[in-house]
Amino acid sequence: QVQLVESGGGLVQAGGSLRLSCAASGSIFLINTMGWYRQAPGKQRELVAAISRGGSTNYGDSVKGRFTISRDNAKNTVALQMNSLKPEDTAVYYCNIEGVRRSYWGQGTQVTVSS
């Protein structure tokens, strides 16, 4: 059993910052890619940022230059630093990890950016 525990969501004004964290625990042999996705009401879930085990990163176009993803392989954690937040960043943010045989999702954390 693998569990992902997310934290750090909340309400912030436009231009502000938030930091999301996700900790993976349980029967994890190896974690490949770790990432964050988001889903706004009425929209499809989309990739926000992903990071490989070796540290290569990939960002969604709308967050490039504002968000930074990082991970700690020893602790099985991944973080997302979100700066210069915009109202359109409002969504439920989900942590995702790719294990050897399948991927796992967190329960989601709400991020709300007020204008």
Say yes or no to pLDDT of 81 above 90. Answer: yes
Give the largest Cα separation in the chain, rounded: 43
Query: Residue 26: CB partners within 8 Å, gap ≥ 6?
Result: 1, 2, 3
* Structure-token pair, residue 38: 């988001």
- The mean pLDDT of the chain is 96
Give the pLDDT score at 20: 98
Quick one: average pLDDT of 73-92? 97
Cα–Cα distance, 44 to 115 (Å, whole number): 23
Give the pLDDT score at 78: 98
Cα–Cα distance, 115 to 108 (Å, whole number): 23
Could you give the C-alpha distances from 104 to 11, 12, 60, in angstroms and in order? 26, 28, 20
Say yes or no to pLDDT of 1 above 90. Answer: no
Say yes or no to pLDDT of 55 above 90. Answer: yes
Confidence at 74, pLDDT banded by 50, 70, 90? very high
